[in-house]
Amino acid sequence: MKHYTGILLVVICSFLGTAAQILFKLSSNTAVTEKHSLIDTLMNPVLIAGFIAYGLSFLILTIALKEDDLSTLYPFIGLTYVWVSIISPLFFPSDTYSVLRFAGVAAIVAGVSFIGYGGKAGKQN
Amino acid sequence: MSPEFLSLDTEGKLGSKTELWAIGLVILSTLIGAVGPIMLKVGVHEIKMSFINIIKHPKIIFGAFMMVVSAGVYIMALKGGELSVLYPYASLSYLWVTLISKFYLKEEINKQKIMGIALIILGIVLIGLSNK
């Protein structure tokens, strides 16, 4: 189990990164108008929640990097693309699913699986 | 710059032209961004783990700073073209981090890791194309 601590932490980072991106997009629909000043825009609670998610993700990534090689852990951040691709159309009706998008999702999932396997194999040698 | 280049549609995507400088900026942002995790990795092994030690370590602060600069450059680049064209270039950060891990951090890069990185980049390219 200890073997996978770093990877699990980075998967959590990818969840938080996904939350941040969705929150940023949600805030951009309302925040950036000519009527609002820069201060109003930055004080938008949804935007602030997005920044907090990124901050947490940063801290957890740092903790994770103590557990394993960077070349094993960093690629797992790529899972953010997978979660965003799946979740985004649920929040934004103009964002749709497509065969191409699922092919991309499948390739990334296969890619991180290879990395996880390669990282483990590398440790045992 | 043509007028449609300046016009935002409802999706926040820009007109059909993707300028060369925008691609250059995205590549620059991936190079700057790759410094971030490298600094975190080097820094985290120099501290005793605690919240305070993480946020006050100069290398970790520098890494965070580079990640923020990278995001800023990326957002600037997005003003110069289509997301579907620029997205794939953003995936280069995975290549840079892997190369720096090998040559600077002396980590072992085996066939599975190379295959994995290639698939992740392919996946991001496909997702980028699906945004068209």
Tell me: the pLDDT tens digits for B38-84? 999 999 999 999 999 999 999 999 999 999 999 999 988 888 878 77
> B97 φ, ψ to 5°?
-60, -40
How many beta-carbon pairs below 8 A join chains A and B? 139
Chain-chain contact of B60 with A62 (C-beta, under 8 angstroms):
yes
Residue to substitute from B70, B91, B99, B117, interface A, most A β-carbons within 10 A? B117
The residue ranking higher by pLDDT, A95 or A71, is A71
Q: What's the sign of the alpha-carbon dihedral A23, A25, A29, A31?
A: positive
CA distance readout (Å), A101 to A49, B8, B83, B90, B132: 27, 24, 14, 17, 11
Give A98-124 pLDDT, tens digit per residue.
Answer: 999 999 999 999 999 999 999 865 555
Q: Which residues of A touch B108 (CB under 8 A)?
A: 69, 71, 122, 125
> In chain B, which residues have their Cβ closer than 8 Å to the Cβ of A75?
94, 97-98, 113, 116-117, 120
Q: How far apart are CA B36 and CA A74, in angstroms?
A: 11
Q: Do the beta carbons of residue B82 and residue B14 sit within 8 Å? A: yes
- Cβ contacts of A66 within 8 Å, gap of 6 or more: A6, B44, B45, B49
Residues of B numbered 74-113 whose beta carbons fall under 8 angstroms of chain A's beta carbons: which are they? 94, 97-98, 101-102, 105, 107-113
Of B12, B101, B127, the CB nearest to A69: B101
pLDDT tops 50 at residue B13: no
Predicted confidence band of residue A8 (pLDDT cuts 50, 70, 90) = very high
Q: Which of A25, A51, A30 shows the shortest CA–CA distance to A40?
A: A30
Mean pLDDT, to the nearest integer, of B104-112?
A: 94
What's the pLDDT band for A125 if we cut at 50, 70, 90? very low
Cβ atoms of B87 and B128 within 8 Å: the answer is yes
| CA B14 from centre of chain | 20
Residue B27 CA to residue A97 CA, distance in Å, equals 28
Q: Look at residue A96 in the predicted model and tell me its pLDDT.
A: 85
Q: Are B106 and A113 in contact (CB under 8 A)?
A: no
